[in-house]
Amino acid sequence: MSDTTSEALTRKQERRSLIFLSVVMAPVLAVGIVAGYGFLVWVYQMFAGPPGG
C-alpha cells in the first residue's frame, strides 16, 4: 500500500471517528450523565425527604 493510500485511509477513519463521537457518543453521554444525576437525587430524596420538608 502506498503512502498516499494509507494517508487517505487514516483521514477517512479520523472523519468517521469524529462523526461517531459528535453524533452518537456526545448525546449518549449527556443523556446518561443527566439521567444518572436525576436518579441520584431521587434516591437521596427517598431517604432524606423532599426539599423543604
For residue 14, what is its C-alpha cell? 479520523
Report the alpha-carbon distance of residue 25 to residue 19 in Å, rounded. 9
- Which ranges of the chain does DSSP label H, i.e. alpha helix? 3-20, 26-48
Report the alpha-carbon distance of residue 41 to residue 2 in Å, rounded. 56
Going by pLDDT thresholds of 50, 70 and 90, the confidence category of residue 48 is very high
Confidence at residue 15, expressed as pLDDT on a 0 to 100 scale: 95
For residue 49, what is its C-alpha cell? 425527604
For residue 2, what is its C-alpha cell? 502506498
Is this model's pTM higher than 0.85 or not?
no
The amino acid at residue 12 is K
